[in-house]
Amino acid sequence: MKFLIRVSFPNSLGNEMVNDPSFLKKIEEYIRNTRSESAFFTLYDGERTAMFVMDISSPGQMYDACEPLLLLGGKVHREMIMTLDDIRKG
List the CATH number of the domain containing 28: 3.30.70.260
DSSP string for the chain: -EEEEEEEE-HHHHHHHHT-HHHHHHHHHHHHHHT-SEEEEEEETTEEEEEEEEE--SHHHHHHHHHHHHHTT-EEEEEEE--HHHHHH-
Number of structural domains the chain divides into: 1
The predicted model gives 55-63 an average pLDDT of: 94
Domain that holds residue 26: 2-89
In this prediction, residue 61 has a pLDDT band, given cuts at 50, 70 and 90, of very high
Percentage of residues in the chain having pLDDT higher than 90: 81
How high is the pLDDT of residue 14? 85
How high is the pLDDT of residue 12? 87
Q: What is the mean pLDDT of the chain?
A: 94
Q: Determine the Cα–Cα distance for residues 81 and 3; give it in Å rounded to an integer.
A: 5
